[in-house]
Amino acid sequence: MASQHPQQPGARGPRAETLENASASAVSPAAADGLEEETVVLDDIAIQRSLTRIAHEIVERHDDLSRLYLVAIPNGGVPLGRILQGKLASIGETEVPLGILDTTLYRDDLSRGGVRPPLRKTEMPSSVDERNVLIVEDVVNTGRTIRAAMDAMIDFGRPTSVQVVALVDRGHRELPIKIDYVGKNIPTQSGDKVKFRSKGDPPSGELEAPFEVVVKSTTQHSSGSASAPGGQGR
């Protein structure tokens, strides 16, 4: 039996409304952004163990520890450099100097958005002439920060050699940068965020132990279908 109430001009039937709602859902910001999932991949104990192993590897590969020079990249590389410095003193019985080197002015990709990040401190206790330098970084991704550190180091002398220490190598290299000592290789998607941070909220706002490394991934959900295991809908 036909409806006794004529459809209003411009009104849509049930099927049209269903299709319209589905289309709106597909382009909504919430659906586009997905759900952010956070996973701890290294806790403080695992970080300490990784740095202990790296310290042993450094001692094994270098006959003369007195020629070593640690150069930490802020922010995350600084606390890692201090921990590594202590472990080298304990294992190798040698006090290795530690410098802090800001790479901001030497980056080739940070001003493309029109805003350059603020400068951070540089504290190099001496020149790097005839030293075997170990650049210390928390997370290595494209390799551009490491390249910038190598360029910045030229202002402080000519080292004998340069090696790279990274707590995490997440891949997606854009430059041919090799990691010589790595705590953990973590396969990631290009859109993932990998962060070395303090566990909790330190009152000082600075990076303080205990530490952890987390991966933040965005999971896209498709209406009416489940994502494949491990695919996270990307």
Count of C-beta atoms within a 10 Å radius of residue 15: 8
| Over residues 131-154, mean pLDDT | 96
Greater confidence (31 vs 223) lies with 223
Whether the pLDDT of residue 25 is over 70: the answer is no
Q: Taking Cα atoms as reference points, which of 77, 55, 73 lies closest to residue 65?
A: 55
44-109+120-186 folds as: Rossmann fold (3.40.50)
Distance, CA of 233 to CA of 222 (rounded, Å): 8
Distance, CA of 76 to CA of 145 (rounded, Å): 12
Q: How many helices (H) and strands (E) does the chain have?
A: 5, 8
Q: How many CA atoms lie within 13 A of 92 on its CB side?
A: 26
Going by pLDDT thresholds of 50, 70 and 90, the confidence category of residue 205 is low
Whether the pLDDT of residue 56 is over 50: the answer is yes
Do residues 42 and 184 make contact, with C-beta atoms less than 8 angstroms apart? yes
C-alpha to C-alpha distances, 95 to 69, 105, 148, nearest whole angstrom: 10, 30, 26
Going by pLDDT thresholds of 50, 70 and 90, the confidence category of residue 221 is low
Greater confidence (11 vs 219) lies with 219
| Over residues 120-141, mean pLDDT | 96
Domain regions of the chain by residue span = 44-109+120-186
Q: What percent of the chain has pLDDT over 70?
A: 74
Do residues 120 and 148 make contact, with C-beta atoms less than 8 angstroms apart? no
Q: Enumerate the H helices of 122-228 as residue ranges.
A: 144-153
User: What is the per-residue pLDDT for 194?
Assistant: 96
Going by pLDDT thresholds of 50, 70 and 90, the confidence category of residue 201 is confident
Distance, CA of 8 to CA of 110 (rounded, Å): 56
| Beta bridge mates, 214 | 40, 195
**Residues 59-89 pLDDT 10s:** 999 999 999 999 999 999 999 999 999 999 9
User: What is the per-residue pLDDT for 167?
Assistant: 98
User: What is the per-residue pLDDT for 186?
Assistant: 95
Mean pLDDT of the chain: 82
Do residues 187 and 202 make contact, with C-beta atoms less than 8 angstroms apart? no
Greater confidence (75 vs 27) lies with 75
**Residues 11-23 pLDDT 10s:** 444 444 443 443 3
Is-cis flag, bond preceding 210, omega within 30? yes
E strand or H helix that includes residue 132: strand 132-140
User: What is the per-residue pLDDT for 162?
Assistant: 97
